[in-house]
Amino acid sequence: MYCVEVLRTEITLQQHMISASSEAAGVSQRELRAQWIDTSAELLKRLAKLQGALYRLQAYMLPRIPAIDPLALAAAIRRANTDVGESPGTDTQLTRVSACENLLVPRQ
């Protein structure tokens, strides 16, 4: 559940960044508009990756939740909320988010 909460928060943040980037592209000078559009495209790719990771994790966790101790679930959610509340860009936060993103990555 820790990673579910981390990914949900990251998805929300990503959506805000996409919105801000799209808005900036709309009001930017012509020369900067292409750069903002490229930035938006990269943000959309990352959003898709985060959403895919969250979907896979939820599909994995759903049948297992009844067997998990409710106190452990609550503790994991609290810890995730604390961790994502850290200053953006800290090494700890980046490491944990990265680990959650790469959890259950489909094998090729």
pLDDT tens digits, residue range 4-46?
Answer: 998 998 899 899 998 888 787 777 677 777 788 888 889 999 9
What is the model's pLDDT at position 28? Answer: 67
Closest CA to 59 of 9, 14, 15, 106: 106
User: Percent of the chain having pLDDT more than 70?
Assistant: 87
Whether 108 shows a pLDDT value over 60: the answer reads no
Q: Which two tokens stand for residue 44?
A: 């959309």
For 39-91, write each residue's pLDDT tens digit.
888 999 999 999 999 999 999 889 998 999 999 999 999 988 888 877 666 67
